[in-house]
Structure 1
Amino acid sequence: MTIATFIVELRRADDFLDRCNWPVFLVVVLLCGIPKHSTFAVAATAMAALLIWRKDSRLSSIGQLSLALAWIDFWGPSFYLLFDRWFLSLETMIAFEPLSWFTQFTRDGNVIDNGAGHSIMVVEGCSAFRNTMTAAFVWLCSIKIQRLEVTIHRIVVLAFALGAVVVINSARLALLSISAQSFFFWHDGLGFEIAKFSMIGVVFVIFFFGIKQEPNRKLLSGRGLAPVA
């Protein structure tokens, strides 16, 4: 939708693309229509390479969003598969941290055992990686659709949102580890919906109140600090 908005604005622009780039652009668009993740990723990446360095901010925005789509659809998951054991061990370690206060709980790699016959193994479907990619894409779309600049402040806002996603997901993993009853509630029951909508709600609040809020320039100047442009 965000990309379509920029394309509609550019439909009458004389410098939308140079003549020599139009054939490449049309081939890329056709490739994007092929229902195959790898083909779409290559096409979207080619689109990004074609547009991301353009002087027109709208064209460069389309390029950035195309690259983000390629990442979230194919490159990101492929990267995750290369290091999935490391990611899963890290997320299990984070989830185990509050449980470590209770001596009966133990962790071995990406397995958490409650010491009473119940254990869970954290697998790819439990990871927060895809949710962090989605949150980052929403952040980028929010910035582009509002014609805002990427500043240090907004990068910090993104970091807080990604951290919130990881914390909520890790809390759910910890709750899954407590007992079989807790597992069924937080994995298959109402707990899954609670965790999902909590994650969506927290990310929305962080982006809604954080993305457009910039530090007061006068206040920063008065304290001898330079605002980030």
Structure 2
Amino acid sequence: MNSDKKEKSEHIWLSDYSIPNPNDMSADEKEVWESMHFDFEVVDNPPGLKEDVLNFVFSEEAVNVTPFEKLKSVFQTVRSQFTPLTANLSIAMLVCIIILVTQLIPNETKGFSEIAASMTLNSLEGDLSEINGQAFMINNNGQQELVISVTGFPQTEGKEVYQVWLIENDQRQSAGVFKPDPKGNGILTVNTSKFSKFDNIGITLEPDADGKQPRGKKIVGT
């Protein structure tokens, strides 16, 4: 199946691009086109350049190599082989080819996210009645994530932060810290695979982000 896709993409590489007709160009385009012949250094195609581009599109995800790193490697190969103007034009063409070929590949598997559970975070005192929040347990492609969203939180001062605690049988684990925006809104996403089981959530106002256990005032909780 992959070989068929690769052959189709090679056909695109070889046949879908032709030398532009100077009569169809604007004045600016003609000037760039005519100046290119002074900029070119006549060299052979870099060995494996076409394969690098196609492999970027079709290869399975390599261990410890991100798509950005693979794309960066291809661009570095181009820059090392051509002069600056030619390299920039080549890179622009490569980007167009990658986008075109990627769009031709059928998206056989799509990720999904679903809300597995939700909890309300209530303020604990009357003077904080405008403060509230929600916590959502998200199943993101099989990975559990906790998303905490709050509104109406007072601004922090200095090193102060709001700290989120995951609670089970009065045992608290710090899930992270955040500072609200000027409107009092804040959000924190937590990868729950790093934590033990919990059944309650609390948020406290802490003097800094270094605490392993609560030291400040509890603001909201489940």
Greater per-residue strand proportion: 2
Report the TM-score range of the alignment, normalised by the length of the smaller protein: under 0.3
Greater Rg by CA: 2
Q: TM-score, normalised by structure 2?
A: 0.24
Q: TM-score, normalised by structure 1?
A: 0.24
